[in-house]
């Protein structure tokens, strides 16, 4: 069983007094009882960060699993996302998310995709207001370019705390990572396995060396690179295994070897 202390203590700073757990549980494509069951297993296994979205249609189940878990609300970092086609009804959508999740605030609310390919400045202004009112602790974006982030900053004076983007050894992009850090934006990776080449010999070699599996090597690489990782699984064994990453450490050279698998 994973050490729950370790998984919740590994965090990245979001603001001077708040942090985001580096490992979260992804819930895309989980619905109904399967979603509720998977989130329950994840909380039992030690995940303290849940990633959902209005568009996933499972906020009800995520909220139910959270409530039933007995884990105090303030120990779990909850993220949901505004779909681009809800532009203009941001506040209503936020209220629906809060109601379905059964919480009085979110830890992170993201614009899921740039609305119509724009930066979505008007939506962002609503996000800023919601944060001021305490309905959401942190606000961010997903699938944004650095230029789109800069536009939000220049138009509103508020920079997204997080950009959730596709990230795996294949997507590693040093310039994007450094550019995000310069702006104070935490990179949160999605599809860590789906987007990866799980049979790559560099990854299988490291998995063999450490007696771990390739997904565990990928999760570990994210943690050591300070990138948030949110693996999804519907299977208890995988949910537990994907967070069982605290008994080995990749060397600097091994991290670089994984970085170099990128096609960028």
Ligand X SMILES: NC(=O)c1ccc[n+]([C@@H]2O[C@H](COP(=O)([O-])OP(=O)(O)OC[C@H]3O[C@@H](n4cnc5c(N)ncnc54)[C@H](OP(=O)(O)O)[C@@H]3O)[C@@H](O)[C@H]2O)c1
Annotated binding residue 138: no
CA 81 to chain centre: 11
Q: Which of 47, 56, 144, 190 is catalytic?
A: 56
Alpha helices in the chain (DSSP H): 4-9, 32-45, 59-69, 90-101, 121-132, 146-156, 174-182, 201-210, 214-225, 236-242, 252-259
**Contact string (CB under 6 A) for ligand X, positions 203-242, x = contact:** ------------x--------------xxxxxx--x--xx
Burial annotation 116-128 (CB, 10 A radius, 16+ → b, else e): eeebbeebbebbb
Give min distance, CB of 104 to ligand X, in A. Answer: 22
Residue from the set 192, 206, 222, 243 that interacts with ligand X by CB under 6 A: 192
Please state whether beta strands 18-21 and 25-26 pair in parallel, antiparallel, or not at all (unpaired).
unpaired
Footprint on residues 107-136 left by ligand X (CB under 6 A): 112
Instruction: Pick from 125, 194, 197, 236 the residue near ligand X by CB under 6 A.
Output: 194
Closest contact distance (angstroms) between CB of 250 and ligand X is 17
* Alpha-carbon gap, residue 80 to 48, rounded angstroms: 15
Instruction: Map residue 124 onto helix, strand or coil.
Output: helix
Return the SS3 of 69: helix
Catalytic residue status for 47? no
Q: Which is nearer to ligand X, 93 or 133 (CB)?
A: 93
- Location of structure tokens 């390739």: 214
Query: Under a CB-based contact definition with an 8 Å cutoff, are residues 26 and 232 in contact?
Result: yes
With CB under 6 A as the rule, give the number of residues binding ligand X. Answer: 23
Q: Which of 7, 39, 51, 167 binds ligand X (CB under 6 A)?
A: 51
Q: By rule CB under 6 A, what string of x and - marks binding of each residue 134-173 to ligand X?
A: --------xx--------------------x---------
Helix/strand/coil (H/E/C) assignment for every residue in 226-246: CCEECCCCCCHHHHHHHCCCC
C-beta of 26 vs 254, nearer to ligand X: 26
Q: Is 58 in the site for ligand X (CB under 6 A)?
A: no
Interface residues with ligand X (CB under 6 A)? 26-28, 51, 112, 142-143, 164, 190-194, 215, 230-235, 238, 241-242
Binding residues for substrate: 112
């Amino acid at each position: 069983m994973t050490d729950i202390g370790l998984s919740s203590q590994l965090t990245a700073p979001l603001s001077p007094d708040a942090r985001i757990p580096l490992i979260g549980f992804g819930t895309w494509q989980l619905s109904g009882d399967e979603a509720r069951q998977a989130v329950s297993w994840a909380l039992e296994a030690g995940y303290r960060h849940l990633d959902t979205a209005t568009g996933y249609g499972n906020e009800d189940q995520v909220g139910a699993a959270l409530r039933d878990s007995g884990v105090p609300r303030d120990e779990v970092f909850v993220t949901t996302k505004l779909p681009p086609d809800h532009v203009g009804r941001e506040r209503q959508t936020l209220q629906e998310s809060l109601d379905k999740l059964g919480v009085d605030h979110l830890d992170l609310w993201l614009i899921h995709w740039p609305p119509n390919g724009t930066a979505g400045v008007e939506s962002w202004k609503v996000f800023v207001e919601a944060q001021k009112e305490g309905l959401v602790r942190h606000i961010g974006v997903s699938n944004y370019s650095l230029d789109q982030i800069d536009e939000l900053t220049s138009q509103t004076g508020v920079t997204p705390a997080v950009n959730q983007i596709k990230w795996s050894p294949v997507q590693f992009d040093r310039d994007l990572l450094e550019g995000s850090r310069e702006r104070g934006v935490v990179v949160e990776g999605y599809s860590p396995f789906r987007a990866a080449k799980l049979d790559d010999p560099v990854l299988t070699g490291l998995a063999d060396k450490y007696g771990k599996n390739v997904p565990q090597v990928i999760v570990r690489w994210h943690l050591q690179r300070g990138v948030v990782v949110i693996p999804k699984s519907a299977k208890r064994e995988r949910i537990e295994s994907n967070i069982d990453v605290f008994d080995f450490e990749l060397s600097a050279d091994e991290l670089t070897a994984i970085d170099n698998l990128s096609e960028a």
